[in-house]
Every structure is written in structure tokens, then in C-alpha cells.
């Protein structure tokens, strides 16, 4: 069972998806703490419902961004967290946290990376006119959505799509592939080799991922 620390800034729908998989006995994980940078984040209500410890850390109370992340790092380490999950955490992770959890911080992005990194990936896809978009779970590095890709899932983009309609379609897959990536980590089946993440002995016919390492 993997010990999780979750960072969130808003409603926490992916946080809820992870909770649901744990509650259903499908994900061998335990959420040790939720940390938010927004005191009004709805993710807090989700944590309360399931009696998950939570902590609000105000970034304005710290003189530097690194000091803010040192505080987060210390809170996670004190709870022996093994994997850090960014569930709608709207900040760029900095070196103190990255160094403490190398290849142990996961993020999900609503686009097929490396296309459309950063904010509003769904809007970027609609504006560009692509026919396929989707979502990507990746390990976090010092760049913006540039870390090694774990798994991806694709959805069609229709001519009449808006940012909101595409976002809704993508979100349904986010809720499937984020818990799946965590499960693979918990089972020791993710191997990072440079930019590539190999998934060892992967067999899941329910979801079509685009990671070329599957099955190898």
C-alpha cells in the first residue's frame, strides 16, 4: 500500500476519484494528508467527509517560494508520504519538493502532452483546431508539464466543441487514468529511463492508453 500526500487548490474532483477507488478496494493506497494553498478549496470538504487529515498552508506567510515548498516537504516527510499527487494544484513545484520526491510527484494535465502545456489546455486544443485531445499523467520535473509521461488517454474533438464541453469529456478520463497511474506506482510497475516511463507487465483492456511502452 502506497502512502499518498495530495496537493490541491480547488474543487478536487481528481482527489475524489482517487478516494473513490481507494474506498472501493481497487487502489492499494492511503491518503495521509491533503495540503491546500487556498482556504476555500472544496477539496477540504471532501477530506472532511472521509476523515482525511488536511492542512492549509498560506504561501503569503513565506518570504520565498522555496520556503513555502520546504514547509510542504516537511509536512509530507513527517507523515512518511511515498508519492505526492497534484490534484488541481495551481502552482509550479519548486526544487525543495522535487529533490525530496524524485520521480515521486504525479500530475495530470488536460491535454496530450507535449502539446498544449500550461494553463487552459482544453481551450488551446479547441482554438488550434485539433481533432484529438485528451489527458496525460506525468511525473513532475522543474518545467511546466515537461516531466516523463506515464499514461495518456485520448478523446475526439468535435467541430462544435467549446472549452467547457471538451473539458467535461476529458475530465471523465482523468478520473480513470489518474488512479490507474497511482496503482501502477503502488505495484512497483513504473520504471523511469530518461524521458521514458516503462510500464511493466501491463494488461488492462478497459482503457486505451497511448503510452508506447505498454505491453513491453
Position 143 in a domain = no
Claim to verify: residue 122 and residue 70 sit in the same structural domain: no
Claim to verify: residue 177 and residue 203 sit in the same structural domain: yes
Position 141 in a domain = no
pLDDT tens, position by position, 184-196: 999 999 999 989 9
Position 142 in a domain = no
Q: Where are the beta strands (DSSP E) in 78-188?
A: 83-86, 105-109, 132-139, 149-156
The number of distinct structural domains making up the chain is 2
Strand partners, 29: 2
The sign one gets for the Cα dihedral 87, 92, 93, 96 is: negative
Claim to verify: residue 62 and residue 79 sit in the same structural domain: yes
Position 145 in a domain = no
Average pLDDT over residues 21-36: 97
Torsion of CA 68, 73, 74, 76, to 10 degrees: 130
Position 160 in a domain = yes
Claim to verify: residue 77 and residue 128 sit in the same structural domain: no
**In CATH, what number is assigned to the domain containing residue 91?**
3.40.50.170
pTM of the model: 0.91
Position 33 in a domain = yes
When pLDDT is cut at 50, 70 and 90, the band that residue 203 belongs to is low
Claim to verify: residue 118 and residue 177 sit in the same structural domain: yes
The yes-or-no answer on residue 120 being catalytic is no
Claim to verify: residue 114 and residue 211 sit in the same structural domain: yes
Catalytic residue selected from 109, 120, 138, 175: 109
Claim to verify: residue 17 and residue 55 sit in the same structural domain: yes
Claim to verify: residue 8 and residue 44 sit in the same structural domain: yes
Task: Specify whether the CB–CB gap between 184 and 199 falls below 8 A.
Answer: yes
Claim to verify: residue 35 and residue 129 sit in the same structural domain: no
Helix, strand or coil, per DSSP, at residue 199: strand
Claim to verify: residue 90 and residue 123 sit in the same structural domain: no
**Phi and psi of 151, rounded to 5°?**
-145, 155
Average pLDDT over residues 74-96: 97
When pLDDT is cut at 50, 70 and 90, the band that residue 209 belongs to is low
Helix, strand or coil, per DSSP, at residue 216: coil
Task: Specify whether the CB–CB gap between 102 and 25 falls below 8 A.
Answer: no
Position 24 in a domain = yes
Q: Is 208 left (phi over 0), alpha (psi -120 to 50) or beta?
A: beta
Secondary structure (DSSP) of 135-149:
EEEEE--SSSS-SPE
Buried b (16+ CB within 10 A) or exposed e, 65-78: eeebbbbbbebbee
Position 175 in a domain = yes
Claim to verify: residue 4 and residue 71 sit in the same structural domain: yes
What range does the domain containing 12 cover? 1-101
Average pLDDT value for the chain:
93
When pLDDT is cut at 50, 70 and 90, the band that residue 214 belongs to is very low
pLDDT tens, position by position, 88-147: 999 999 999 999 999 999 999 999 999 999 999 999 999 999 999 999 999 999 999 999
Amino acid at each position: 500500500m502506497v502512502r499518498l500526500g495530495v496537493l490541491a487548490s480547488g474543487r478536487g474532483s481528481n482527489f475524489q476519484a482517487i478516494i473513490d477507488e481507494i474506498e472501493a478496494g481497487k487502489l492499494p493506497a492511503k491518503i495521509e494528508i491533503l495540503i491546500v494553498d487556498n482556504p476555500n478549496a472544496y477539496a477540504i470538504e471532501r477530506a472532511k467527509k472521509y476523515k482525511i487529515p488536511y492542512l492549509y498552508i498560506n504561501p503569503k506567510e513565506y518570504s520565498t517560494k522555496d520556503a513555502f515548498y520546504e514547509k510542504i516537504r516537511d509536512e509530507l516527510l513527517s507523515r512518511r508520504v511515498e508519492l505526492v499527487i497534484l490534484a488541481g494544484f495551481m502552482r509550479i513545484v519548486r526544487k525543495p519538493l522535487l529533490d525530496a520526491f524524485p520521480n515521486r510527484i504525479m500530475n495530470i494535465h488536460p491535454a496530450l502532452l507535449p502539446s498544449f502545456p500550461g494553463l487552459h489546455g482544453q481551450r488551446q486544443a479547441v482554438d488550434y483546431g485539433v481533432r484529438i485531445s485528451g489527458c496525460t499523467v506525468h511525473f513532475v520535473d522543474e518545467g511546466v508539464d515537461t516531466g516523463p509521461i506515464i499514461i495518456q488517454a485520448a478523446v475526439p474533438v468535435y467541430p462544435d466543441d467549446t472549452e467547457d464541453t471538451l473539458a467535461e469529456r476529458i475530465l471523465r478520463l482523468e478520473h480513470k487514468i489518474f488512479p490507474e497511474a497511482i496503482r501502477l506506482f503502488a505495484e512497483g510497475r513504473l520504471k523511469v529511463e530518461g524521458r521514458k516511463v516503462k510500464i511493466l507487465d501491463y494488461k488492462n483492456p478497459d482503457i486505451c492508453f497511448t503510452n508506447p511502452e505498454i505491453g513491453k
